[in-house]
Amino acid sequence: MQTLLRNNLKSHMTRNRMTSTIISMALGFIIFMMVSFRLQIQNNNNIRNFKRGTTPALSTTSPSALNPQHLEPILARHMDIIETFSFVTFDMVR
């Protein structure tokens, strides 16, 4: 059985090499298309955010840096251009 398999692999070596080359090229093309598609989606999102604007977000690790008592009057003055705003608090257990 081993000699039969060995002879079979030797006689079909060029065809097996062609098949593995084609499979490798097809897999490479699929990976290339997936990466290109992902980059195109990111590019479209960046262009859309550049044209329409994006949602601003302020964050910090210091609990006293973004004090809502100081920010609310500033936000209230500009409510004509602000739809909504909210505050997310720090975890109580740290």
Measured between alpha carbons, how far is residue 20 from residues 4, 15, 37, 60 in Å? 22, 9, 26, 53
Question: 7-49 pLDDT, tens per residue?
Answer: 887 888 777 888 889 999 999 999 999 999 999 999 998 888 7
Q: Is residue 70 part of a domain?
A: yes
On whether the CB atoms of residues 50 and 77 are closer than 8 A, the answer is no
Q: Is residue 86 part of a domain?
A: no
Q: Mean pLDDT score of the chain, rounded to an integer? A: 83
Q: Is residue 88 part of a domain?
A: no
Question: How would DSSP label each residue in 77-89?
Answer: HTTTT-------P
Q: Is residue 91 part of a domain?
A: no
Does 90 score more than 70 pLDDT? no
Q: Please give the model's pTM, rounded to 2 decimal places.
A: 0.47
How many structural domains comprise the chain? 1
Domain span holding position 48: 2-77
Q: Is residue 93 part of a domain?
A: no
